[in-house]
Every structure is written in C-alpha cells, then in structure tokens.
Amino acid sequence: MAKAPIKVAVTGAAGQIGYALLFRIASGAMFGPDQPVILQLIEAPFEKPMAALAGVAMELDDCAFPLLKGIVQTSDASVGFKDANWCLLVGAKPRGPGMERADLLKDNGKIFIEQGKIIDAVAADDARVAVVGNPANTNCMIAASQAKRLTPDRFTAMVRLDQNRAQTQLAQKAGVDLTEVKDIFIYGNHSPTMFPSFAHATIGGKPAAGVINDQAWLEGPFLETVGKRGAAIIAARGASSAASAANALVDHVRSLVTPGAIHSVAVKSNGLYGFDPEVWAGMPVKTTTPGSYEVITSYEMDDFAKSKIAATNKELVDERSFVASML
Ligand code: NAD
Ligand code: LMR
C-alpha cells in the first residue's frame, strides 16, 4: 500500500539553498523513493521573495515529480508549519556590512523565537526540526527554548556540511577514495571554532592519523581548511555555499530517518563531551528509530581535542549569553 504523504515545511524556500534543496526533497532523495511529500514553503512577507517562491513552485510543478503531492506557498508561519512532520529552518537574516555578530544573533533570535513558538503550537505531534540558517546552533537553541510540547531532542542543527568537508579533505590528503574515510565527526559550533575529531577517524579501517602520518597537517591546515571552508566559498563565489549546504541537509535528515546511521548532528549537549549542558553542540549520534537518535558517548578525547572542544564550547556559551534576555 502506498505511504501517506509527509508534510515538510521549509523556510527561506526561495533562497539559494532552497533552490538547491526542494527539488531533491521532491525527488525522494531525503525521505526515500517510496515516501510522498507535501512541501509547505515559507518565505519572508515581501513581494520579491514571494514572487520568486511562485516561480520555484512553477518549476517544481514542471518537474512532474511522482512523489510530490502538494505545494503550499505562504509567508504565514502558522500556515506553513501546520501539521508539519519536518520543519527545515533555512531562512535567516544574512550578516550585513558592518554588522556585529551580536546584532546578527539578536535579529535572527527574533525570527527563531517566533518560529519555535509557532512550530510548538501547530506542527505535527511527531515534528522534527532541522536548523540551517546561521548561526545555526544558537538559532536552534533559541527555537527549542520556546517549545513546551516538543522536547529538545526534536531540535537539531546542521553540522553535516562540516563532516562532509572533513571527509573529503582526509581522503584527498591520503589519496584514497572518499568511501574509505569513516568516523570523522564534528564537535561544537558550525563556525571556524568547530572541531573535526581526526583522532577517531579511520581510513581503510586503520586510524587516519597513522595513514596520513602528518600530525602537523592534521592539527593545522586540516582544521583550518574545514573550519574556514564556508568563508573560502563566499570569497570565491561571492555568495555562501548553497548546493553543498542543501546536499548536507539531505544527508542530515536522511541519516536521521535511517536507523543505524552514525553521523554528526548538533544537539542539546546535556553536558556531554564537556559542553555546557544548555548549548547545542555538534557530536556523533546513532539513529535509533526514524527521527530519534542517541549520542555516542564512547569517544575518549586527548588534551588537544579537549582544548579545541573548550574553545568551541566557549563560543557557544558566549552566543547563548548574547541572546539570554530573549529566551
Ligand atoms: P538566501 O539569502 O539566498 O536565502 C534566505 C531566504 O530566507 C531568503 O529568500 C529570505 O527571504 C528568507 N527569509 C528570511 N527571513 C525569513 C523568515 N523569517 N521566514 C521565512 N523566510 C525568511 O540564503 P541561503 O544562501 O539560502 O542561506 C540561508 C542560511 O543558511 C543563511 O543563514 C546561511 O548563512 C546559512 N547556511 C548554513 C550552512 C550550514 O552548514 N549550517 C551552510 C550554508 C549556509
Ligand atoms: C558555510 O559553512 O558554507 C556557511 O555556513 C557560511 C556562511 O556564513 O553562510
């Protein structure tokens, strides 16, 4: 028997990432080739993005995707999140010229406070939330802070792009196929302070550090390249990563609905790995049942890793303190 459609709400749907994302959701890449979807597309309440959204919806229609069972276009979040099973929070205010990070946090804080409240009020009982809009970890923490019905574990932020970037860098350095690289996980913030824990990664089943045999590269250029990759793409393209970010969100959700998948997700830390209990930090998780996961707590951290985790934790705590009055 055919499955009932699930409702997938996407904010910022007419933006760059939205344009690279929606067609993949509708094609079955995110929820599987037998899972019909209804897309509930939310944009800012202005003429330009709403007109662009209408164009994107026309293109979705023109793809004649068999799994796409409906498209909602709205600037009203209470319509867009209504009964949504997945809420993909991509839309956010970008950092403008001369804008301080604290200002960005506050402006986006207002958006995520409102969206968190509305999701909690109107989304489906099994709703899951994935945040991409930056600063993703703290936006996710803000949205979760507004929820009374939905528990904090339902709110995740994306560090999968960082995991994918780290995997490719290790494979290229070792001169091996990408699929040989396993167990590279991202700890902390989606920002240059993030820590891709190379000490636990393997290449062809052996410790990556031994295969690469260049500790200085791992502790220096590797961390720097992965941490600053977003900025390098902005410098090269004049716009932030979009196709790779959309691809990472497909991976993030696909892994979260696939029991047994092991992957990096920013979740409420609850004090694990030395993070402040109230911040959302990247860490390895194992999906248990579709949409649910447990954090893998067995990785031992050496002094180098502990110092990196302390630095990214400090940034997350600082971000939380910038917005504390709003929570
Ligand atoms: P974009 O500017 O092209 O699109 C953002 C869209 O969001 C715009 O169409 C805008 O109208 C819309 N929007 C703004 N406020 C909204 C609101 N309150 N409700 C609904 N829609 C709203 O940006 P983009 O390139 O698509 O990037 C989106 C976000 O993702 C940015 O914050 C970016 O920094 C972030 N990002 C995160 C990662 C990650 O790995 N976590 C990677 C790349 C980009
Ligand atoms: C990325 O990692 O590519 C983005 O988060 C960069 C950005 O600031 O939008």
| Interface predicted TM-score (ipTM) | 0.99
Residue type, 321: S
Strand order in the sheet with 293-295: 68-74, 37-42, 6-11, 86-89, 128-131, 155-157, 262-268, 280-287, 293-295
pTM value > 0.90: yes
Mutate to test the pocket of ligand 1, among 134, 161, 249, 252 (most ligand atoms within 8 A of CB): 134
Active-site annotation holds for 190: yes
**In the Cβ-directed half-sphere of 85, how many Cα atoms lie within 13 Å?**
15
Instruction: Sketch the domain layout of the chain as residue ranges.
Output: 6-157, 160-326
- Distance (Å, whole) CA 21 – CA 151: 26
Identify the residue whose tokens are 């939380």: 320
Q: What architecture is domain 160-326?
A: Alpha-Beta Complex (3.90)
Whether the CB of 245 sits within 6 Å of ligand 1:
yes
d(CA 155, CA 158): 10
Ligand 2: centre distance to CA 43 (Å): 20
CATH classification of 6-157, choosing from 3.30.1180.20, 3.40.50.720, 3.40.50.300, 3.30.160.250? 3.40.50.720
Q: What is the chain's pLDDT, residue by residue, as a tens digit (327 residues)?
A: 789 999 999 999 999 999 999 999 999 999 999 999 999 999 999 999 999 999 999 999 999 999 999 999 999 999 999 999 999 999 998 776 666 677 788 889 999 999 999 999 999 999 999 999 999 999 999 999 999 999 999 999 999 999 999 999 999 999 999 999 999 999 999 999 999 999 999 999 999 999 999 999 999 999 999 999 998 998 898 888 999 999 999 999 999 999 999 999 999 999 999 999 999 999 999 999 999 999 999 999 999 999 999 999 999 999 999 999 888
Instruction: Tell me how far CA of residue 95 lies from CA of 103, 104, 304, in angstroms.
Output: 9, 6, 32
Give dist(CA 206, CA 144) in Å, integer: 39
Residue with tokens 């509708």: 26
Question: How are the residues of the chain apportioned to helix, strand and coil, as percentages rounded to the nearest 5?
Answer: 50, 20, 35
